[in-house]
């Protein structure tokens, strides 16, 4: 399947490892990625909260560029991009007058216009269901050797479920399905659907940390070897800010955190240069040793 | 039909709590509240919960079903009975438990009061000779959803930010704030926005969207908070870290297209404050998490996104109206309402409790067995 690939800000910059592992993995799962060069940030919820009309136009422009490539699916690898794009997409797909105004504006700046033909899909959804899931089971033959993996969903791939709609927001199962298909053992813990605190980590670090500590603590207690998340923002706070939890509590926090594409990538036998674990703040060594990689 | 419930009972005097299972015969159309009434009538008169209207108007019967906040009078029990699922019923989170399913709503009302939930028209009543103040349907549509709030507390029960910080105003109070900020008859918009922009206000929301997911009335409190943010930025009330953070995204989008990550923290916290954290920044830099700001990572055709910003600004769909314009379309999406039926058993105090209700005499946030 040919899909437009929207990598978002973090995978372009501080989480390049997510981009390289996704690009290496996608063809194995039957996805041909079409890179979009002219697209911008989705606004991450911040622009929606500051200048919402600009947010709508930025996202419409991304959808328009995806459509201009002849694709009907826009692949996302970030929760926040997924919600922002899906929300904007619904807003213009289901309101002709609004779509018309947005298109007039896109036309006047020389961007392609949008006819409403794009479906925004997170990578997790494509690999955890239907044909993608069958491919995943074939591809993940290296396996995770029963490694205990704590799935961490984050917020904006579950809620508001009205706009996302794949997982049950209280009892999600897609990450568990992927972990199981890769030969890992999914760990259950209540905070897997809660917030990591990232959106306020720069402005209100203390508050964000008291949200961040819950999933990591619970995953540790449940005996997880590592955590996996479909969102690079969750990854950044879980991985990079974890050292601050150690400082704050005086206890050791060293839970390895994987991007979804890396977890599947390990099971699918991707190379070091594609996985780029060295870019993580918390060392991945204990996990790799258990796997004999 | 036979309906089962497991109810967390809590004795105020002794502090004892226990999960009690009940099974009763109820009519097929019975709601969760009806079943509780039958239990209280026929099995155990000491069971305590709040109720009044029984028709989703009064907002009294907020409680948790399988860990998620619901209005008891809205939930039909037929599917649960058919599936043989016995849901766990517990008090709402983020509020102190008084007895069984009754929580102390005082902290909730204090926050509602703090946002001044009344009109401030800015004059001393109508004077002789004054004309009628007509508010158009368009003006009222700005606050239509916020006006639907029945103050049941289901959103507040689940708020992740409030769990981390009990002083956070929270979704119900902020949505109430928006109801008055967006009211054309109110004359204190700027003052309101200044107050709501302070610490524990608009910008402390962490966008977990639990409020939006749980609200039984379609208020969409998270969207209301976004509207407040947009109104504050429109009015130039943007000197706090949260607003600065949001504005940096706008600036990034129109200059380079992609977020200028490395400059985000100094732009949010101020250069001096961010320098205090040099050691942390160095660790991140070592792992490539601090991309060099120069040369900036620039999207192709970024001039389009800059031009879009200029055009949008001229068209003046500013502040909350940028969100309101999309509400009609979003209202056409069919919600997935099978979430409750699929939820499995969760105890309110053990695993699955989120956020945990505070119990009397217990330190906030302390672990209980």
- Record: contact B308-A49, CB cut-off 8 A: no
Domain count, chain A: 2
Query: Nearest 5°: phi and psi at B311?
Result: -65, -50
**Is A134 within a domain?**
no
Q: What is the pLDDT of residue B286?
A: 86
Q: Are B38 and B134 part of one and the same domain?
A: no
**Is A268 within a domain?**
yes
Q: Are B73 and B113 part of one and the same domain?
A: no
Q: Global pTM? A: 0.93
Residue range of the domain that includes A277: 140-291
Q: What is the CATH number of the domain that holds B44?
A: 3.10.20.30
**Is A178 within a domain?**
yes
As a whole number, mean pLDDT of residues B70-87 equals 91
Domain count, chain B: 2
The Cα B151–Cα B221 span in angstroms is 11
**Is A263 within a domain?**
yes
Contact map slice: B 138-167 vs A, CB within 8 A: 160-161, 163-165
Q: What is the CATH number of the domain that holds A252?
A: 3.40.50.11810
Q: Are A111 and A155 part of one and the same domain?
A: no
**Is B138 within a domain?**
yes
B46-57 pLDDT, tens digit per residue, is 999 999 999 999
Q: Are A66 and A104 part of one and the same domain?
A: yes
User: Residue A52 is nearest to which of B212, B302, B322, comparing CB atoms?
Assistant: B322
Q: Are B138 and B75 part of one and the same domain?
A: no
Model confidence at B292, pLDDT cuts 50, 70, 90, reads confident
Last residue of a domain, one of A123, A154, A171: A123
Residue range of the domain that includes B39: 2-104+336-342
Q: Are B17 and B62 part of one and the same domain?
A: yes
Contact A104, A34 (CB under 8 A): no
Model confidence at B296, pLDDT cuts 50, 70, 90, reads confident
User: Residue B230 is nearest to which of A13, A52, A109, comparing CB atoms?
Assistant: A52
Q: Are A22 and A102 part of one and the same domain?
A: yes
A242 to chain B: nearest residue by CA? B280
The Cα B193–Cα B320 span in angstroms is 12
Q: Are A6 and A89 part of one and the same domain?
A: yes
B1-15 pLDDT, tens digit per residue, is 999 999 999 988 888
**Is B40 within a domain?**
yes
Q: What is the pLDDT of residue B335?
A: 55
Task: Report in angstroms the alpha-carbon separations of B25 from B34, B54, B55, B253.
Answer: 11, 19, 22, 60
- Of B96, B99, B120, which is closest to residue B180 (Cα–Cα)? B120
Neighboring chain A residues of B323 at a CB cutoff of 8 Å: 48, 52
Q: Are A236 and A271 part of one and the same domain?
A: yes
Cβ–Cβ contacts within 10 Å for residue A270, how many? 20
Q: What is the pLDDT of residue B350?
A: 38
Q: Are B229 and B130 part of one and the same domain?
A: yes
User: Residue B311 is nearest to which of A13, A109, A190, comparing CB atoms?
Assistant: A109
**Is B253 within a domain?**
no
**Is A133 within a domain?**
no
Query: Nearest 5°: phi and psi at A156?
Result: -85, 20
Contact B63, B89 (CB under 8 A): yes
- Record: contact B289-A240, CB cut-off 8 A: yes
Q: Are A112 and A204 part of one and the same domain?
A: no
**Is B128 within a domain?**
yes
Q: Which residue has the higher pLDDT, A31 or B259?
A: A31
Q: What is the distance of C-alpha A79 from the center of its chain?
A: 5
Neighboring chain B residues of A204 at a CB cutoff of 8 Å: 203-204, 241-242
Give the start-end residues of each E strand in chain A: 2-6, 32-35, 73-76, 119-122, 148-151, 185-186, 226-229, 257-259
Q: What is the pLDDT of residue B270?
A: 80
The Cα A23–Cα A7 span in angstroms is 10
A15 to chain B: nearest residue by CA? B289
Neighboring chain A residues of B157 at a CB cutoff of 8 Å: none
Q: Are B118 and B173 part of one and the same domain?
A: yes
As a whole number, mean pLDDT of residues A23-36 equals 97
A67 pLDDT above the threshold of 80: yes
As a whole number, mean pLDDT of residues A240-267 equals 96
Contact B312, A57 (CB under 8 A): yes
**Is B63 within a domain?**
yes
B293 pLDDT above the threshold of 80: no
Q: What does the block give as tokens for A260? A: 């979804």
The Cα A251–Cα B356 span in angstroms is 23
Q: Are B54 and B117 part of one and the same domain?
A: no
B303-333 pLDDT, tens digit per residue, is 999 999 999 999 989 999 999 999 999 988 8
Q: What is the CATH number of the domain that holds B167?
A: 1.10.1060.10
Q: Are A30 and A169 part of one and the same domain?
A: no
B62 pLDDT above the threshold of 50: yes
Q: What is the distance of C-alpha B140 from the center of its chain?
A: 21
Contact B44, B18 (CB under 8 A): no
Q: Are B88 and B127 part of one and the same domain?
A: no
- Of B224, B228, B314, which is closest to residue A101 (Cα–Cα)? B314
**Is A135 within a domain?**
no
């Amino acid at each position: 399947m040919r899909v437009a690939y929207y990598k978002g800000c973090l995978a372009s910059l501080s989480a390049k490892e997510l981009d390289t592992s996704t690009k290496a993995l996608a063809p194995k799962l039957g996805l041909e990625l079409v890179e979009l060069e002219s697209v911008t940030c989705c606004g991450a919820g911040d622009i929606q909260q500051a200048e919402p009309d600009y947010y709508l136009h930025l996202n419409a422009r991304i959808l328009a560029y995806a459509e201009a490539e002849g694709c009907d699916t826009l692949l996302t690898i970030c929760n926040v991009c997924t919600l922002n794009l899906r929300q904007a997409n619904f807003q213009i797909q289901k309101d002709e007058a609004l779509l018309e105004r947005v298109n007039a504006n896109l036309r006047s700046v020389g961007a392609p216009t949008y006819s409403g033909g794009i479906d925004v899909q997170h990578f997790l959804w494509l690999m955890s269901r239907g044909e993608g899931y069958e491919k995943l089971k074939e591809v993940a033959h290296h396996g995770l050797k029963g490694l205990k993996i704590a799935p961490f969903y984050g917020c904006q791939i579950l809620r508001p479920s009205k706009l996302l709609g794949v997982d049950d927001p209280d009892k999600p199962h897609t990450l568990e399905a992927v972990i199981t298909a890769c030969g890992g053992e999914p760990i259950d813990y209540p905070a897997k659907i809660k917030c990591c605190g990232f959106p306020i980590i720069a402005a209100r670090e203390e508050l964000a940390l008291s949200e961040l500590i819950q999933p990591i603590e619970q995953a540790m207690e449940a005996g997880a070897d590592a955590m996996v998340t479909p969102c690079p923002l969750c990854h950044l706070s879980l991985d990079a800010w974890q050292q601050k939890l150690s400082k704050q509590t005086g206890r050791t926090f060293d839970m390895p955190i994987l991007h979804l594409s890396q977890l599947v990538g390990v099971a699918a036998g991707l190379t070091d240069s594609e996985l780029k674990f060295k870019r993580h703040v918390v060392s991945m060594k204990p996990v790799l040793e258990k796997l004999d990689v | 039909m036979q309906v089962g419930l497991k109810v967390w009972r809590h004795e105020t005097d002794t502090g004892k709590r226990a999960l009690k299972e009940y099974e009763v015969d109820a009519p097929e159309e019975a709601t969760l509240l009806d079943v509780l009434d039958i239990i209280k009538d026929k099995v155990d008169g000491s069971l305590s919960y709040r109720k009044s209207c029984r028709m989703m108007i009064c907002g009294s019967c907020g409680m948790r079903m399988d860990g998620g906040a619901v209005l008891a009078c809205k939930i039909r029990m037929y599917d649960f009975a058919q599936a043989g699922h016995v849901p766990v019923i517990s008090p709402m989170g983020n509020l102190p438990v008084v007895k069984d399913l009754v929580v102390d709503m005082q902290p909730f009302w204090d926050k509602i009061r703090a946002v001044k939930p009344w009109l401030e028209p800015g004059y001393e009543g109508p004077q002789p000779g004054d004309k009628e103040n007509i508010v158009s349907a368009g003006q009222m549509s700005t606050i239509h959803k916020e006006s639907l709030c029945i103050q049941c507390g289901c959103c507040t029960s689940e708020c992740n930010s409030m769990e981390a910080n009990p002083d956070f105003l929270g979704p119900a109070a902020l949505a109430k704030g928006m109801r008055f900020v967006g009211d054309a008859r109110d004359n204190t918009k700027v003052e309101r926005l200044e107050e709501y922009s302070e610490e524990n206000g608009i910008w402390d929301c962490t966008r977990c969207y639990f409020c939006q997911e749980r609200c039984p009335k379609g208020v969409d409190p998270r969207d209301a908070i976004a509207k407040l943010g947009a109104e504050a930025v429109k009015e130039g009330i943007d000197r706090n870290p949260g607003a600065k953070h949001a504005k940096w995204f706008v600036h990034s989008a129109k200059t380079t297209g992609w977020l200028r990550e490395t400059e985000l923290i100094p732009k949010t916290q101020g250069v001096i404050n961010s320098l205090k954290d040099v050691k942390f920044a160095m660790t991140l830099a070592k792992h490539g998490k601090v991309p060099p700001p120069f040369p900036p990572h620039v999207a192709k055709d970024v001039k389009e996104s800059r031009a879009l910003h200029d055009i949008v600004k001229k068209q003046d769909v500013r502040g909350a109206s940028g969100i309101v314009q999309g509400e009609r379309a979003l209202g056409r999406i069919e919600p997935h309402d099978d979430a409750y039926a699929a939820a499995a058993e969760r105890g309110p105090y053990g695993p699955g409790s989120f956020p945990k209700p505070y119990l009397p005499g217990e330190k906030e946030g302390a672990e209980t067995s």
